[in-house]
Chain A
Protein backbone atom coordinates (compact mmCIF):
# COMPACT_ATOMS: atom_id res chain seq x y z
CA UNK A 1 0.00 0.00 0.00
CA UNK A 2 1.23 3.41 -0.90
CA UNK A 3 -0.04 6.03 1.54
CA UNK A 4 -0.94 9.40 0.11
CA UNK A 5 1.66 12.13 0.48
CA UNK A 6 1.03 15.80 1.19
CA UNK A 7 0.83 18.13 -1.80
CA UNK A 8 4.35 19.26 -2.61
CA UNK A 9 5.94 15.98 -1.48
CA UNK A 10 6.55 13.42 -4.21
CA UNK A 11 8.20 10.06 -4.63
CA UNK A 12 11.15 10.34 -6.97
CA UNK A 13 13.84 8.01 -8.15
CA UNK A 14 17.32 8.71 -6.76
CA UNK A 15 20.04 6.38 -8.04
CA UNK A 16 17.67 3.47 -8.36
CA UNK A 17 15.86 3.90 -5.02
CA UNK A 18 12.52 5.58 -4.60
CA UNK A 19 12.44 8.27 -1.95
CA UNK A 20 10.31 11.21 -0.90
CA UNK A 21 11.39 14.64 -2.13
CA UNK A 22 10.42 18.30 -2.20
CA UNK A 23 11.27 21.11 -4.59
CA UNK A 24 13.74 23.69 -3.31
CA UNK A 25 17.30 24.81 -2.82
CA UNK A 26 19.53 21.92 -1.59
CA UNK A 27 20.75 22.46 1.98
CA UNK A 28 22.56 19.49 3.46
CA UNK A 29 24.22 17.51 0.69
CA UNK A 30 21.03 15.59 -0.12
CA UNK A 31 20.60 13.87 -3.51
CA UNK A 32 18.84 15.93 -6.15
CA UNK A 33 16.89 15.23 -9.31
CA UNK A 34 16.23 18.40 -11.28
CA UNK A 35 14.32 20.75 -8.97
CA UNK A 36 13.63 17.92 -6.53
CA UNK A 37 15.80 17.11 -3.55
CA UNK A 38 15.62 14.01 -1.44
CA UNK A 39 14.00 14.32 2.00
CA UNK A 40 16.32 12.03 3.94
CA UNK A 41 14.30 10.17 6.61
CA UNK A 42 17.53 9.35 8.45
CA UNK A 43 18.21 13.05 8.91
CA UNK A 44 14.65 14.15 9.57
CA UNK A 45 12.09 12.73 12.00
CA UNK A 46 9.19 14.25 10.10
CA UNK A 47 10.69 12.74 6.94
CA UNK A 48 10.73 9.37 8.72
CA UNK A 49 7.06 9.78 9.71
CA UNK A 50 6.19 10.39 6.04
CA UNK A 51 8.44 7.60 4.77
CA UNK A 52 6.78 5.18 7.23
CA UNK A 53 3.39 6.13 5.81
CA UNK A 54 1.95 7.88 8.87
CA UNK A 55 -1.07 10.02 8.02
CA UNK A 56 0.27 13.42 9.03
CA UNK A 57 -2.50 15.51 7.50
CA UNK A 58 0.18 17.78 6.02
CA UNK A 59 -0.89 19.80 2.99
CA UNK A 60 0.75 22.36 0.76
CA UNK A 61 0.65 26.03 1.87
CA UNK A 62 -0.25 25.33 5.51
CA UNK A 63 0.89 27.71 8.22
CA UNK A 64 3.43 25.88 10.36
CA UNK A 65 5.08 26.47 13.72
CA UNK A 66 8.25 24.39 13.96
CA UNK A 67 9.66 23.86 17.46
CA UNK A 68 13.27 22.69 17.65
CA UNK A 69 14.26 23.87 14.18
CA UNK A 70 17.95 23.11 14.84
CA UNK A 71 20.06 23.71 11.72
CA UNK A 72 16.96 23.80 9.53
CA UNK A 73 17.22 20.43 7.74
CA UNK A 74 13.56 19.50 8.19
CA UNK A 75 12.41 23.12 8.25
CA UNK A 76 13.76 23.53 4.72
CA UNK A 77 11.50 20.73 3.44
CA UNK A 78 8.49 22.02 5.36
CA UNK A 79 9.04 25.48 3.90
CA UNK A 80 9.27 23.93 0.42
CA UNK A 81 5.56 23.04 0.86
CA UNK A 82 4.93 26.78 0.57
CA UNK A 83 3.21 28.04 3.72
CA UNK A 84 4.50 30.59 6.26
CA UNK A 85 6.94 28.65 8.46
CA UNK A 86 7.81 29.92 11.95
CA UNK A 87 11.06 28.22 12.98
CA UNK A 88 11.86 28.32 16.72
CA UNK A 89 15.33 27.27 17.88
CA UNK A 90 16.90 27.85 21.29
CA UNK A 91 20.62 27.25 20.66
CA UNK A 92 22.60 29.94 18.80
CA UNK A 93 25.04 27.61 17.05
CA UNK A 94 22.50 25.67 14.97
CA UNK A 95 20.51 28.90 14.52
CA UNK A 96 23.41 30.23 12.42
CA UNK A 97 22.82 27.38 9.94
CA UNK A 98 19.09 27.95 10.16
CA UNK A 99 19.66 31.53 9.01
CA UNK A 100 21.40 30.37 5.86
CA UNK A 101 18.55 27.94 5.11
CA UNK A 102 16.15 30.88 5.60
CA UNK A 103 18.24 32.96 3.19
CA UNK A 104 17.02 30.74 0.36
CA UNK A 105 13.37 30.73 1.46
CA UNK A 106 11.29 33.88 1.94
CA UNK A 107 8.59 31.98 3.89
CA UNK A 108 10.81 31.02 6.86
CA UNK A 109 10.69 33.25 9.94
CA UNK A 110 13.59 32.24 12.22
CA UNK A 111 13.16 32.88 15.95
CA UNK A 112 15.85 32.37 18.61
CA UNK A 113 13.41 31.44 21.38
CA UNK A 114 12.77 28.81 24.05
CA UNK A 115 9.89 26.48 23.07
CA UNK A 116 9.09 26.16 26.78
CA UNK A 117 8.19 29.88 26.82
CA UNK A 118 5.55 30.41 24.11
CA UNK A 119 4.67 33.81 25.55
CA UNK A 120 8.06 34.99 24.25
CA UNK A 121 6.99 34.42 20.64
CA UNK A 122 3.17 34.58 20.66
CA UNK A 123 3.45 38.27 19.71
CA UNK A 124 5.08 37.17 16.42
CA UNK A 125 3.54 33.77 15.59
CA UNK A 126 -0.05 33.69 14.34
CA UNK A 127 -2.41 30.72 14.86
CA UNK A 128 -1.17 27.88 12.63
CA UNK A 129 -2.46 24.71 10.96
CA UNK A 130 0.43 22.53 12.08
CA UNK A 131 2.82 22.46 15.02
CA UNK A 132 5.87 20.29 14.34
CA UNK A 133 7.79 19.46 17.51
CA UNK A 134 11.29 18.01 17.66
CA UNK A 135 12.81 19.30 20.88
CA UNK A 136 15.48 17.20 22.59
CA UNK A 137 14.64 18.33 26.08
CA UNK A 138 13.05 16.79 29.13
CA UNK A 139 9.33 17.52 29.40
CA UNK A 140 8.39 17.07 25.74
CA UNK A 141 4.71 16.54 26.61
CA UNK A 142 4.75 19.82 28.52
CA UNK A 143 6.18 21.66 25.51
CA UNK A 144 3.35 20.25 23.39
CA UNK A 145 0.79 21.34 26.00
CA UNK A 146 2.24 24.85 26.24
CA UNK A 147 2.13 25.29 22.47
CA UNK A 148 -1.46 24.00 22.19
CA UNK A 149 -2.50 27.68 22.10
CA UNK A 150 -1.25 28.06 18.52
CA UNK A 151 -3.65 25.41 17.15
CA UNK A 152 -7.40 25.54 16.63
CA UNK A 153 -9.60 22.41 16.72
CA UNK A 154 -8.67 21.42 13.18
CA UNK A 155 -4.94 21.82 13.73
CA UNK A 156 -2.37 19.04 13.93
CA UNK A 157 0.51 18.34 16.26
CA UNK A 158 3.28 16.32 14.62
CA UNK A 159 5.76 15.40 17.32
CA UNK A 160 8.86 13.24 17.47
CA UNK A 161 9.33 12.15 21.08
CA UNK A 162 12.89 11.25 22.00
CA UNK A 163 12.98 8.72 24.83
CA UNK A 164 16.56 9.47 25.83
CA UNK A 165 15.77 13.14 26.38
CA UNK A 166 13.25 12.25 29.08
CA UNK A 167 15.35 9.67 30.89
CA UNK A 168 18.51 8.03 29.51
CA UNK A 169 18.29 5.10 31.86
CA UNK A 170 14.60 4.21 31.58
CA UNK A 171 13.12 1.73 29.15
CA UNK A 172 11.97 3.69 26.05
CA UNK A 173 8.60 1.92 26.01
CA UNK A 174 7.91 3.11 29.54
CA UNK A 175 8.96 6.65 28.64
CA UNK A 176 6.67 6.70 25.59
CA UNK A 177 3.78 5.45 27.70
CA UNK A 178 4.27 8.24 30.21
CA UNK A 179 4.63 10.94 27.54
CA UNK A 180 1.58 9.68 25.63
CA UNK A 181 -0.49 9.64 28.83
CA UNK A 182 0.47 13.26 29.52
CA UNK A 183 -0.24 14.28 25.93
CA UNK A 184 -3.77 12.87 26.21
CA UNK A 185 -4.66 15.62 28.70
CA UNK A 186 -4.44 18.14 25.87
CA UNK A 187 -4.59 16.21 22.61
CA UNK A 188 -6.49 13.43 20.93
CA UNK A 189 -3.87 11.02 19.55
CA UNK A 190 -4.60 9.99 15.96
CA UNK A 191 -1.53 7.87 15.31
CA UNK A 192 1.69 6.85 17.03
CA UNK A 193 4.51 4.85 15.54
CA UNK A 194 8.14 4.21 16.46
CA UNK A 195 10.52 5.75 13.96
CA UNK A 196 13.01 2.93 13.63
CA UNK A 197 14.86 1.94 11.52
CA UNK A 198 15.40 5.67 10.78
CA UNK A 199 15.64 6.93 14.38
CA UNK A 200 16.13 4.67 17.37
CA UNK A 201 14.03 5.20 20.49
CA UNK A 202 11.87 7.89 18.90
CA UNK A 203 8.09 7.88 18.81
CA UNK A 204 6.26 9.71 16.01
CA UNK A 205 2.96 11.23 17.17
CA UNK A 206 0.10 12.69 15.13
CA UNK A 207 -2.45 14.43 17.35
CA UNK A 208 -5.35 16.86 17.28
CA UNK A 209 -5.92 19.36 20.10
CA UNK A 210 -8.83 18.71 22.46
CA UNK A 211 -11.45 21.45 22.56
Chain B
Protein backbone atom coordinates (compact mmCIF):
# COMPACT_ATOMS: atom_id res chain seq x y z
CA UNK B 1 0.00 0.00 0.00
CA UNK B 2 1.50 3.28 -1.07
CA UNK B 3 0.26 6.74 -0.25
CA UNK B 4 -0.54 9.65 -2.49
CA UNK B 5 1.10 13.03 -1.98
CA UNK B 6 -1.86 14.26 0.09
CA UNK B 7 -2.07 11.36 2.59
CA UNK B 8 -2.54 12.58 6.15
CA UNK B 9 -2.07 16.25 5.31
CA UNK B 10 -4.09 19.24 6.45
CA UNK B 11 -5.83 20.40 3.22
CA UNK B 12 -4.98 24.03 3.98
CA UNK B 13 -1.25 23.39 4.43
CA UNK B 14 0.12 23.99 0.92
CA UNK B 15 3.72 24.11 2.14
CA UNK B 16 3.53 20.62 3.62
CA UNK B 17 1.87 19.42 0.40
CA UNK B 18 4.68 20.97 -1.68
CA UNK B 19 7.29 19.20 0.46
CA UNK B 20 5.46 15.90 -0.07
CA UNK B 21 5.36 16.47 -3.85
CA UNK B 22 9.11 17.09 -3.78
CA UNK B 23 10.18 14.18 -1.57
CA UNK B 24 7.43 11.54 -1.68
CA UNK B 25 7.58 8.25 -3.57
CA UNK B 26 5.31 5.51 -4.87
CA UNK B 27 6.02 2.47 -7.02
CA UNK B 28 2.95 2.84 -9.19
CA UNK B 29 0.34 5.49 -9.91
CA UNK B 30 -3.18 5.14 -8.56
CA UNK B 31 -6.41 7.00 -9.12
CA UNK B 32 -5.22 9.74 -6.78
CA UNK B 33 -8.12 12.18 -7.42
CA UNK B 34 -10.68 9.54 -6.34
CA UNK B 35 -8.53 8.46 -3.38
CA UNK B 36 -8.24 12.06 -2.20
CA UNK B 37 -11.99 12.59 -2.39
CA UNK B 38 -12.63 9.30 -0.53
CA UNK B 39 -10.15 10.30 2.16
CA UNK B 40 -11.89 13.65 2.57
CA UNK B 41 -8.81 15.62 1.50
CA UNK B 42 -10.92 17.44 -1.08
CA UNK B 43 -14.65 17.75 -1.67
CA UNK B 44 -14.49 16.88 -5.36
CA UNK B 45 -12.14 16.32 -8.30
CA UNK B 46 -12.16 19.96 -9.32
CA UNK B 47 -10.91 21.01 -5.89
CA UNK B 48 -8.34 18.17 -6.00
CA UNK B 49 -6.76 19.58 -9.14
CA UNK B 50 -6.70 23.09 -7.65
CA UNK B 51 -4.82 21.81 -4.59
CA UNK B 52 -2.52 19.64 -6.70
CA UNK B 53 -1.67 22.63 -8.86
CA UNK B 54 -0.94 24.85 -5.84
CA UNK B 55 1.32 22.13 -4.39
CA UNK B 56 3.20 21.34 -7.63
CA UNK B 57 3.69 25.02 -8.48
CA UNK B 58 5.07 25.75 -5.00
CA UNK B 59 7.28 22.64 -4.98
CA UNK B 60 8.76 23.35 -8.42
CA UNK B 61 9.18 27.06 -7.72
CA UNK B 62 11.06 26.24 -4.50
CA UNK B 63 13.27 23.63 -6.17
CA UNK B 64 14.13 25.93 -9.07
CA UNK B 65 14.90 28.84 -6.75
CA UNK B 66 17.13 26.66 -4.61
CA UNK B 67 19.11 25.57 -7.65
CA UNK B 68 19.37 29.14 -8.89
CA UNK B 69 20.77 30.27 -5.55
CA UNK B 70 23.57 27.76 -5.88
CA UNK B 71 24.24 29.59 -9.09
CA UNK B 72 27.28 30.43 -11.11
CA UNK B 73 27.67 33.96 -9.75
CA UNK B 74 28.06 32.64 -6.20
CA UNK B 75 30.79 30.40 -7.51
CA UNK B 76 32.47 33.36 -9.25
CA UNK B 77 32.56 35.32 -5.98
CA UNK B 78 33.93 32.34 -4.09
CA UNK B 79 36.72 31.54 -6.54
CA UNK B 80 37.81 35.20 -6.75
CA UNK B 81 37.78 35.45 -2.95
CA UNK B 82 39.89 32.28 -2.77
CA UNK B 83 42.43 33.75 -5.20
CA UNK B 84 42.55 37.00 -3.18
CA UNK B 85 43.13 35.09 0.05
CA UNK B 86 45.89 32.96 -1.48
CA UNK B 87 47.66 35.97 -2.97
CA UNK B 88 47.34 38.02 0.23
CA UNK B 89 48.54 35.16 2.40
CA UNK B 90 51.61 34.70 0.19
CA UNK B 91 52.44 38.40 0.12
CA UNK B 92 52.14 38.73 3.88
CA UNK B 93 54.12 35.53 4.38
CA UNK B 94 57.00 37.06 2.43
CA UNK B 95 56.87 40.08 4.72
CA UNK B 96 56.89 37.79 7.77
CA UNK B 97 59.87 35.88 6.38
CA UNK B 98 61.84 39.05 5.76
CA UNK B 99 61.05 40.39 9.22
CA UNK B 100 61.68 37.03 10.88
CA UNK B 101 65.04 36.73 9.14
CA UNK B 102 66.09 40.10 10.55
CA UNK B 103 65.17 39.16 14.11
CA UNK B 104 66.01 35.45 14.34
CA UNK B 105 68.52 35.03 11.56
CA UNK B 106 66.69 31.94 10.37
CA UNK B 107 65.79 32.04 6.70
CA UNK B 108 62.34 30.54 6.26
CA UNK B 109 59.75 31.27 3.64
CA UNK B 110 56.09 30.96 2.78
CA UNK B 111 53.00 30.30 4.82
CA UNK B 112 54.70 27.32 6.50
CA UNK B 113 57.31 29.61 8.09
CA UNK B 114 54.62 32.04 9.21
CA UNK B 115 52.79 29.14 10.82
CA UNK B 116 55.90 28.12 12.77
CA UNK B 117 56.23 31.68 14.09
CA UNK B 118 52.52 31.86 14.90
CA UNK B 119 52.79 28.62 16.89
CA UNK B 120 55.86 29.81 18.73
CA UNK B 121 58.31 27.29 17.23
CA UNK B 122 60.47 30.14 15.97
CA UNK B 123 61.41 33.28 17.90
CA UNK B 124 59.28 32.69 20.93
CA UNK B 125 60.49 35.90 22.53
CA UNK B 126 58.58 38.22 24.80
CA UNK B 127 59.67 41.54 23.37
CA UNK B 128 57.10 43.79 21.77
CA UNK B 129 58.75 43.19 18.38
CA UNK B 130 58.27 39.42 18.82
CA UNK B 131 54.64 39.93 19.73
CA UNK B 132 53.98 42.17 16.72
CA UNK B 133 55.60 39.70 14.32
CA UNK B 134 53.76 36.75 15.87
CA UNK B 135 50.45 38.61 15.51
CA UNK B 136 51.14 39.28 11.83
CA UNK B 137 52.07 35.61 11.33
CA UNK B 138 48.77 34.59 12.92
CA UNK B 139 46.92 36.74 10.37
CA UNK B 140 48.80 34.97 7.56
CA UNK B 141 47.70 31.59 8.89
CA UNK B 142 44.10 32.80 9.24
CA UNK B 143 43.93 34.12 5.68
CA UNK B 144 45.53 30.95 4.35
CA UNK B 145 42.99 28.82 6.21
CA UNK B 146 40.21 31.00 4.82
CA UNK B 147 41.46 30.18 1.32
CA UNK B 148 41.27 26.46 2.20
CA UNK B 149 37.69 26.85 3.41
CA UNK B 150 36.70 28.69 0.25
CA UNK B 151 38.29 25.90 -1.78
CA UNK B 152 36.21 23.33 0.12
CA UNK B 153 33.08 25.43 -0.54
CA UNK B 154 33.88 25.53 -4.27
CA UNK B 155 34.49 21.78 -4.32
CA UNK B 156 31.03 21.26 -2.78
CA UNK B 157 29.07 23.68 -4.96
CA UNK B 158 30.71 23.61 -8.41
CA UNK B 159 29.38 20.11 -9.22
CA UNK B 160 25.81 21.37 -8.61
CA UNK B 161 26.28 24.44 -10.82
CA UNK B 162 28.22 22.79 -13.63
CA UNK B 163 28.24 18.99 -13.19
CA UNK B 164 29.89 18.03 -16.48
CA UNK B 165 32.45 20.81 -16.47
CA UNK B 166 33.38 19.95 -12.86
CA UNK B 167 33.68 16.28 -13.77
CA UNK B 168 36.16 16.98 -16.58
CA UNK B 169 38.09 19.95 -15.16
CA UNK B 170 37.76 19.37 -11.43
CA UNK B 171 35.63 21.78 -9.37
CA UNK B 172 38.26 24.48 -8.86
CA UNK B 173 39.38 24.78 -12.49
CA UNK B 174 35.70 24.69 -13.52
CA UNK B 175 35.01 27.61 -11.17
CA UNK B 176 38.06 29.51 -12.47
CA UNK B 177 36.92 29.13 -16.07
CA UNK B 178 33.42 30.32 -15.17
CA UNK B 179 34.94 33.25 -13.28
CA UNK B 180 37.28 34.23 -16.14
CA UNK B 181 34.48 34.38 -18.67
CA UNK B 182 32.09 36.08 -16.26
CA UNK B 183 29.52 33.32 -15.86
CA UNK B 184 28.43 29.89 -17.05
CA UNK B 185 26.29 31.34 -19.82
CA UNK B 186 29.10 33.37 -21.35
CA UNK B 187 31.47 30.43 -21.00
CA UNK B 188 28.93 28.25 -22.83
CA UNK B 189 28.79 30.78 -25.65
CA UNK B 190 32.53 31.07 -26.18
CA UNK B 191 34.31 29.14 -28.91
CA UNK B 192 36.63 26.47 -27.57
CA UNK B 193 39.68 28.37 -28.88
CA UNK B 194 38.83 31.16 -26.44
CA UNK B 195 38.34 28.68 -23.59
CA UNK B 196 41.76 27.25 -24.40
CA UNK B 197 43.37 30.67 -23.82
CA UNK B 198 41.28 31.98 -20.91
CA UNK B 199 43.76 33.42 -18.42
CA UNK B 200 46.47 33.90 -21.06
CA UNK B 201 45.18 37.23 -22.33
CA UNK B 202 48.47 39.08 -21.74
CA UNK B 203 50.43 36.52 -23.74
CA UNK B 204 47.80 36.53 -26.46
CA UNK B 205 47.93 40.29 -26.92
CA UNK B 206 51.75 40.25 -26.85
CA UNK B 207 51.53 37.72 -29.66
CA UNK B 208 48.99 39.78 -31.61
CA UNK B 209 51.19 42.87 -31.34
CA UNK B 210 53.88 40.80 -32.97
CA UNK B 211 57.04 39.16 -31.84
CA UNK B 212 55.84 36.93 -29.04
CA UNK B 213 55.00 33.27 -29.71
CA UNK B 214 51.31 32.36 -29.71
CA UNK B 215 50.16 31.02 -26.33
CA UNK B 216 48.96 27.41 -26.39
CA UNK B 217 47.01 27.40 -23.15
CA UNK B 218 45.65 29.62 -20.41
CA UNK B 219 44.43 28.56 -17.00
CA UNK B 220 43.72 25.05 -18.30
CA UNK B 221 47.47 24.49 -17.99
CA UNK B 222 46.70 23.57 -14.36
CA UNK B 223 44.88 20.49 -15.65
CA UNK B 224 47.00 17.38 -15.46
CA UNK B 225 46.13 16.55 -19.08
CA UNK B 226 47.98 19.69 -20.20
CA UNK B 227 50.76 20.13 -17.64
CA UNK B 228 51.43 16.37 -17.58
CA UNK B 229 51.74 16.04 -21.35
CA UNK B 230 55.08 16.29 -23.18
CA UNK B 231 55.84 19.84 -24.30
CA UNK B 232 55.62 19.03 -28.05
CA UNK B 233 52.08 17.66 -27.64
CA UNK B 234 50.84 20.22 -25.12
CA UNK B 235 49.20 22.42 -27.77
CA UNK B 236 47.19 19.44 -29.05
CA UNK B 237 46.31 18.37 -25.53
CA UNK B 238 45.17 21.89 -24.63
CA UNK B 239 43.06 22.13 -27.77
CA UNK B 240 41.42 18.76 -27.18
CA UNK B 241 40.75 19.49 -23.51
CA UNK B 242 39.31 22.93 -24.30
CA UNK B 243 37.00 21.36 -26.88
CA UNK B 244 35.57 18.92 -24.37
CA UNK B 245 35.31 21.58 -21.65
CA UNK B 246 33.33 23.80 -24.04
CA UNK B 247 30.90 20.99 -24.79
CA UNK B 248 30.57 20.27 -21.06
CA UNK B 249 29.85 23.94 -20.30
CA UNK B 250 27.19 24.05 -23.01
CA UNK B 251 25.46 20.94 -21.71
CA UNK B 252 25.61 22.32 -18.16
CA UNK B 253 24.12 25.64 -19.18
CA UNK B 254 21.50 24.52 -21.68
CA UNK B 255 20.32 21.16 -20.37
CA UNK B 256 21.81 20.31 -16.98
CA UNK B 257 22.00 16.63 -17.95
CA UNK B 258 24.88 14.54 -16.70
CA UNK B 259 26.92 12.89 -19.47
CA UNK B 260 29.42 10.46 -17.96
CA UNK B 261 30.51 9.52 -21.51
CA UNK B 262 32.31 12.85 -21.87
CA UNK B 263 34.98 11.70 -19.43
CA UNK B 264 35.59 8.51 -21.35
CA UNK B 265 35.80 10.39 -24.66
CA UNK B 266 38.30 12.84 -23.18
CA UNK B 267 40.40 10.03 -21.69
CA UNK B 268 40.54 8.22 -25.02
CA UNK B 269 41.45 11.37 -26.92
CA UNK B 270 44.26 12.15 -24.49
CA UNK B 271 45.60 8.65 -24.67
CA UNK B 272 45.87 8.97 -28.46
CA UNK B 273 47.62 12.35 -28.19
CA UNK B 274 50.07 11.17 -25.57
CA UNK B 275 50.94 7.95 -27.34
CA UNK B 276 51.70 9.46 -30.73
CA UNK B 277 55.27 10.39 -31.76
CA UNK B 278 58.00 10.54 -29.12
CA UNK B 279 58.63 7.50 -26.98
CA UNK B 280 55.09 7.17 -25.77
CA UNK B 281 55.96 8.21 -22.24
Contact = CB atoms under 8 A, between A and B. Distances in A.
B57 A102 contact: yes
A91 B29 contact: no
Nearest to A165: B257
A60 interface: no
Interface stretch (A3-11, A13-21, A50-58, A93-101): A93-101
Contacts, number: 91
Contacts of A123: 2-5, 20, 24-26, 32
B49 A124 contact: no
Contacts of A173: none
Chain B contact patch, size range = 35 or more
A110 B56 contact: yes
Interface residues of A, number: 31
Contact of B49 (A84, A92, A138): A84
Interface stretch (B59-67, B106-114, B135-143): B59-67
B25 A112 contact: no
A73 to B, nearest CB: 15
Contacts of B254: 93
Contacts of A128: 29
A124 B255 contact: no
Contact of A127 (B2, B22, B31, B53): B31
Given A107-B49, A124-B21, A126-B31, A99 B255 contact: no
B200 interface: no
B52 interface: yes
25 contacts: A91-B256, A92-B68, A93-B254, A99-B57, A107-B53, A108-B53, A109-B52, A109-B56, A111-B60, A112-B59, A112-B64, A119-B25, A119-B26, A119-B27, A120-B25, A122-B26, A122-B27, A124-B21, A124-B56, A126-B30, A126-B31, A126-B32, A128-B29, A136-B255, A136-B257
Which 6 A-B pairs have CB atoms at the shortest separation, nearest pair first?
A91-B256, A123-B26, A92-B67, A122-B26, A123-B24, A109-B56
